[in-house]
Structures are given as structure tokens and as C-alpha cells.
Structure 1
Amino acid sequence: MRRCMFPVTILFVSFLSLPVLGEQLSADYKSNPKFQSAIAEGKQLAQHRQLSFALDAYKKANKIADGKDADTLNEIFSLQLKTGSYKDAVATASSLEALATTPETKSRAEVNRGYALILQAGDKHKPDQMHAADSALKAAIADNPKSAPAFYLDGKVLAYLGNMDAARDQFKSCLACINPNDPSYLRAQHFAEDPALVLHKMAPAFEVTALDGSKFNLDAMGGRVVLIDFWATWCGPCNEELPHVKKIAKEFTGQPLVIISVSWDSDETKWKNFINKNEMTWVQYRDADHSLSKEFGVEAIPHYFTIDSDGVLTAEMLGSGSDVEGKLKKLIARAKSIPQPQPASHSGN
């Protein structure tokens, strides 16, 4: 199986971007050349995706600051999540809690700790970590009753712990804290309606502006099946797969299916010309900074995801020769059997 490889740092991204503590204490360490050098080194190494070395540099800066620099601790926390050092991230979040000077900033640190505990619990959702996460998130809510991330994450934790009624209440509280125009609102609404969806592997919630100017929100597909195709104009196997994707787009016209192709192209003009030349009439989006790809954990292309009418990830296929069509037929047949309103936000294929 042929594939085009591109190194991408994988980071699980929750429904809402986790807040960080921006408060900073004025101190002598800031003017310390060794502190400044360590921070600069950490930034440079992180930019080059040398995450473990970047983490060491920030730890060095944190030691010089005697653990009192919130910005440095935030960088350490982020890198610990990216490198899978979740137990250490829990400890770092606790350090941020100790630095907090207001209920709101303490709440943000408690959300971070709860999030790290959820990740530490792993795919098996180990009860000890999940109960600890529940406690951290409830503390965050007590400190900031308007914390949408805390309500959302606690809703997920409670669902994993089997307390669906309490989970539903947390998702409803989350909805009361966020703007209905927020891309994450629909996902929270779906979970409020059916908390059991949390137990499935859900596609990341996202909204992007497509090439034609329309907004594509995965959670606004209104009962339609979604095929996401990660590709690039310069990828040989992707070009080999293009006739297959065009065939699918044509074959399923008028069916409850929407296709979105997500390109890794950096050259916008070349990308647009390629789409026009090859008559790619379905939804097109250029993920130049790979931010959406990171949310899906995509490291190689072509890469496909099929998502059912509930937003559940049903299949992930890598490389050419994948049986995308067969999987779509089954999902579309199921979608047709479930009466659901059609969305008004996008016209589809």
C-alpha cells in the first residue's frame, strides 16, 4: 500500500480549547539571561517539533523561576499533553492552581487538571482517574459557574461513569454558557439529547469555511453520512484515488451523504486550479496549517473517515485501495431508515 508521509504531532483536542492562565508575576527571574535563553530554546525546539527537548528547556526555565512562572507552566502542561505525559500534566495543573489569584484563574487550572486526568484514564476510562476528574471539574464549576469547558468535560466523565442523567444536566448547563453560533454548540446539544453518544468514538467537532465560502459544521449535517478525504495535489496515491472519489460523489448524488476533501496544499492557487481542472464539485477545504488534520490524528495521506448520521466515527481508512464505497452504502441505508430533519446550513454535494 502506497502512502505519502508527513510528520504531524498528534494532540487530542477537546470540544472547547482549554483555557490557560495568563497571569504573570513580576520577578527578577524574567531578566535572568539563563531564563530567557531557556524560554527561547523551548520555543525553537517546539517549532521544530522536538517536543521532548522543548519540554526539558521549559522545565529548566521553570526551575530558574522557582515554579512561579504561569506562562512557563502552561507551556510545560501543553507539551506534557502532546507527549502523552498525562500524570505529569496533572501535577503541572496543580501547580497552576497554586499560583491562581482569582476564582476564575483557579477554575481554568482545575479544568486543565480534569482534562489531564481524563487523558490519564485512557481508553478504558479507569474509574480512579475519572472520579478524580469529576472532582476537579466540579471544583472548577464552583469557582466559575460559567465555565463551559468544565460542564462539557464533566458531562463526558459522568457518561463514562454511567450516570447519564447527571451527564445530561451538565451538557444542558454547558449549552447555557456558550453562544449558539459557536461551532461546539451543536455537539453539546447532541450530547444533551443523548449522553450515550459519549461512549462512542466521535469525530472531532469542527467548523471550517469551504472554498465556495459556505460554512461546514460536522454537527450540522442533520442526519447525513459524512466522508472526509484528506489529500493533496502533490500526493501521487491521492491522485490515483481521485477518480474513485469522483465516482462516489456522482453515484450518491441526492443521497444523505456529504463529502468534504481536506487538502494539505500550501499553494492556494495551485490547489484551486487543480480543483477546477478536475471538476471536484463537492465541499473543498485547505488545511494549510494541518490544524484539522491534527484533530483527526492524520499523519499520512490519502486518509479517509466515514462518519454516521449521529456523528460517530465508523471507519478510518489509510492509503489507496480502501473499500470506501461499500462502507458508505451501509451507512447511507441506515441513515435513510432513521427519520431526521435535513440541515439548512449546507446544500451537500
Structure 2
Amino acid sequence: MFIRNQTTFNHKQNNSVSVCTISILAIVVLLGFSANLVSADSTQVDTNVSPKEIRDKYEEIKAIYKGSANKDAPEELEALVQKSTDFVDAFPEYKRVDQVYYYLGYALVQLGRVEEGTAVFEKFIKEHPEKRWVSPSLYELGLAYDKLGKHDKADETYKKLIEHPKYSSGSYAKQAKKILEQDRTSRKGRLPIPPVASSNPSEWIGKPAPDFQVKDLKGEELSLKKYRGQVVLLDFWATWCGPCLKELPNVKRTYQKYKDQKFQIIGISLDGSKQPLETFIERENLAWIHYWDQSQKITAQYGVRGIPSIFLIDGEGVIRKTNLRGHSLETAVAELVGENLTKLADPSTQTSEPNSQSKSIPATKLIKPSPASQKSESLQSPITKMSEWVGKPAPDFEVMNLKGKELSLKKFRGQVVLLDFWATWCGPCIAEMPKIKKTYEKYKDQKFQIIGISSDKSKAPLEAYIEKEELGWIHTWDENRKLRNLYGIIGIPTAFLIDGKGVIRKASLGGFDVESAVAELVKENLAKPTMPKKTSSDSPKVDAKAKEIIDAAVAAHGGLEKLQAVKNIVIESRSFEHLPDDSVQDEGQNKTYYYTNKFRNDWHRSDSVESVIFDGDSLFLQTDGVGKPIPQKAAESFVDYFKDSLFREPIWLLANLSQNKIPVKFVGTVDVKGTPTSVLLVTQPSGKELKIFISDETRYVVQYNYSVEMGRETENAETLFDDYRDVDGIKIAHHRTTKSFEHRETLITDIKLNAEIDEALFYSKE
């Protein structure tokens, strides 16, 4: 069965796409540097409510849950029950309704309405057995039955979770196994929490590192105290973890530089099995000590909830640094190795008991705070000096303001803009507020605007304060730290003053003389003559800066001649999905055949081969070669979307952009994982914008930002590229991560360029 763009569709066909089918499509578009898609019926909701209104309701429910979790908050839980009930009734096919079902069941149980909660969980699990939030729902359902004393039902539920075809290896399933090992009479509906470490790595600083005694990958005894007197880097990682692989060159370089200076690395792997770990270690020549934490014993000891996670331990066994990345990793090791060697050379630092632990001073106490840091409320480890921003283009962003309207910085080009990072709980911020209000009132009609970016933990106190103080400028709530990370904010208040060309003219942690600085820049901006708008015939399709960046990227990826010579690409890969419980699900092996205008993906499952075929005009789905129906709306959305996906293939995209036939605009520079990148803006075949992030260091494509529209739903998507390797003289990323409707990773195991491909692969048997 296939659907063409103009073909009518028999509406008697089942109008849903199976979970399996959607998984295939997700894998295909991930390989094509795109996001996971949803079926057409996932957006069949009340047509009187806009997609944005539905999304806002969902976000409100999520915020209430976050505010009520792990604390006694009956009023918030009651609100969560009411709003979640209304939501699942009104929007039963919303793509994230499974998450709302979980919130509803959880809230009912927490309120003591356990029977109602179990009914919600049972209904959800029965109707949506493969949804992402089934795993935590089964876990909570089992606990609820234990709370009611219905241990037989609880056992049955835990076993469903442990034997679930998709979630059996997740953390909830592991917890369920632990519960089943307990005496039934002791089960009261909550697993006792062992006295393990905090899951916040920074809280470890200054504390003794927990010892462990295990056998490493070579079968030799391994304990931490064996390395007392040496600096030790404890590195929690996995071969499937993209950020871990991104950091690997830094780790290797640091090891080679300091391995003979009483420095050791112990890699703690969270891989699902030992064989790929051993293969990877041998292939990459990782010469330090390795341990496969199959039971997650050491992971639990250190409270590790995400990877990469790094602990730097001094010669006395005290944790001195955590969360090290990039250049800061080597710098921290260099400092600690130097300190350690100095101590060993100084007889006055030696004790009669070389293995005894001394009373240590946390590293944070050894650092004298600067006046700025004393004045400001600390948020996170430094990313960059504020002074380094001056003279650079201000990174653009696209977010929603507090009134629910789209907000982007480039909208205010031609005006002076004050970006104010603050919070209602920040004393220095509140102290500065009268000056900011005075400045706004004085210059608001002179092409001047303020954008307040709040670090508040919840929206309600922020909105209340803004209303009470009558702060008339634009405000946004930076709930997910997107803008703070974008601008490398290390504390608040922090202010950026941006001129009419979008260039940062002042940047300061702790603020600056706002009124004087604004007065000067507003005067300068108003004095500039208004330039006539250029017509399309006045401007080249690719501006000079963009062309320079594209040419450098083309050269870095292999050169124009080699890129243009690629007619097809065959990729073999493994796909992994990140689940709500922080576990990672192996989605299996895939093989995908790409041309510039068509593709085929075969997903090899344990009992079948699922295929999706796009021949440039039609979309086919097959199981073991047998066609499957696709809803017409889904097919239309997928066809348009796959055309964009093929357009985004870096090899062909760079080759096409270099021809100066597609409009390209340079829009600024931002950091991507600590690396400065240049951002280009292009238009895809669908008319949607694509942002391309090209590293200023390697000139490789490192990120795409774009939007995904399926039915009435639109979602922002982000795709990251790393682990570049040479394939026939062309640099190709072997690790790709896409975050949108879902969070998926792809590890490429083999790539062939210009392969012999049977054209019959692109046609359905029916």
C-alpha cells in the first residue's frame, strides 16, 4: 500500500500508524539528520483549540508536577489531578498524553486516593502498552498495589515491567527486581532509599571519594585506595554516549601528557554488554584502567545519574573537581598533578601513615572569590569571561515570552537592547531594579528595549512580581536554562547591552552603570542615517561572510570535487532511545540507502524486518516485504518532511550551498558544547528555516536547528554531529543525536559511498 501526494485514500483503512512503524520512521529521519515523527492521529484533537494552547496546557501540567514532586503539597497535587483529568479527556491523542496519564495516577496515589490511581494506571497501560511512560507507570502501579496490601497484584505488575519487551533493561525494571527480592510483609508501597551519595556531582567536592573493590576488564583486582598518593580521574562513560565520545580526545590527550606524573584514569563503563566495550577500547587504544559496571554498584556509590560524569580525586583520596569538560579538564588535572608532586617532594607534607586520610579543605574554599562573584548569586561553573563577549554578535534565540508570544532577538535589529539576566530571589537584582525602571521609562520611545530573562524556579512568583512592580518591558522565563547556557551566564545579575546591529557593546556580571551606557548607545543609534532597504537584486544569494564559512566547511569535509561525486550513501547503524527513566533502549540494527531524492531504511528486529521506502514521490511501509497502510495526512506530512531531510544531508547540502544558488545568510556566532561556531540560515524545500552550526575550529557541521511539523503539531528539533571519521577522503560524522519529540542517538557502524544498489529496493511489491 502506498500514498501519492494527490492520491485519494480509503478512509475505511485503519487511520493509525503503529508504534513499530513510527520507530522506524524515527530511525530513518535520525539518520537523515532529522527528528522523530508522530502519526497523523496523534494530533486529532479539538479543532477549536490551537496547537499552542494545547502545548501550553501540557507545559502547565508539567510545571505543577515538578513543583509537587517529593514534597507534601496537597493543593498542588489536587490541581494536578484536575488539570490532568481535563487534559486526557480533551486531548486523548496528544503525542505526550502518556506523560499526563502518569502525572494523574501519581498525584492520585500521593493524595491517598490509591484505588483511583491504580484505575488510571491500569487504563493507561492497557490502552497504550508501548508508550514511553509505561515503564514508570508500571513501577508506580506496583507500589500502589503494595500500599493497598494487594501483593499478588503488585507482583504481577512488577513482572510485567521486568518482562516488558522494550523496558526490561531500564532502571525501573531493576528497581522492580529489588522489590520482588523483599519480604512481602515489609513492602509498604515505597522502596527504601539506601544511604547513597547525592546525585549532584558538585556536592561531592571536598569529600572523601568512596572506595570500591572490584575486578577490572583484565580480571585484575581494582580498588581506589590502591592509588592513594596519585591523582585519579574517575570517568563514568559508555561507548553509546555521544557526549562521552566527544570528550574522549581530551581525556586521551590528558592521559598521555600526565600518565608518568603520578596520574591515573579509571574508566567506569555503563555499557549494556562487555563485548562492544572491549572492542572499542582496543580499537581506540585507551590504555588506562577500565571497569564494566554491569551491576551499577560504583555508579550508585557516586550517585551518577547521567554521563559523562567525571570526578577528579587528589593524592589524599579527596574529590576536588567534578563536571570537567574540554580545556578545563586538562587545566584541572595539570593543577592537581602539580600540587600533588609538590607535596610528595616536601617532607613536611608526609605522614607516618601514607594511606591515612587527612582532613582536607574543599577546593572551593581555597579560591578567593572575586568582587563580582561576591556581589552576584552563583548559578553554575564559569563558561566564559563576560568581557570576551564585547564586540561579538549577540547570539539570536527563539523562545516564548511570558505572554505566550514568540520572542527573538533579531526582531529588535535597529534598536538598542538591554538583555537582563535576573531573578526575583536575587538580592542584587532587586537592588538594581529601580535604575533599570528609570532607564526604561526614559528611553523606551527612542528605539530602546529591555528583555528580562528570569532564572526563577517557577513562573507564578515571577509573574506576580512583574505585575506588582509594573515592569513594562519584555520578559521570558528561562525554565530550561537555554538562554543562560547560550550566553554562558555564571551568576546574576548579568547584563548585555546590544547595539542596533546586534553587536554586544557591554557585558558585565554584577551589572554596570545602566543609564549612562544606554544613553550613550541610544544617542549613537539615533544618529545613524536610516539605510534604504535592499531589494533582492541588490544582494547576492550568499553573503560574503556566509560564502567564506561554506567554502571552509566544504574544504574541511573533503573538497567540492569529492562531495559532488557522491551519488548515494549506504549507512549501517545502531539506534538508541533515551527513555523517561534516564535509561537507554537499544533499538536495533538499521541499514539505510540514500540518494539525493529517495531512500530506503530496513530495521532488523529479532523477528522481522520493518522497512520504509521513499521514492521521491511516494511513501511505502513494509513488514517482511508486505505492504502496510499509511494514513493520508501522515503520508503527506512525511513526504514533505523527508524531502527536507534529504536536503539536510551534510555532503549534499554543503555541495549545493557552495554553488551560490541557494540563499544563505550568516546570522552570528554561538558556542556549541564549548566550541565557537558560525551560524548560517537557509530555507529548506518545504519553506521552513534551517540553522547550520559550523565549528570555527574544525569547520565541520556540528549542529542543525529546525522545526518539525506533523499535522497540527510543531516542535523545535536539534541534531548534533560528532565523531567525524574519514570515508573515502570525506569527513562524515559517525555519531548523531536528535532531540525533538523524542531523544535518540545513532552510532554508525559502516558507511559506503557510491555503492552498487539494486533499484528494485525503492519500489513496493504491491
Q: TM-score, normalised by structure 2?
A: 0.22
Looking at secondary structure, tell me which structure has more strand per residue: 2
TM-score (norm 1): 0.45
Structure index of larger Rg: 2
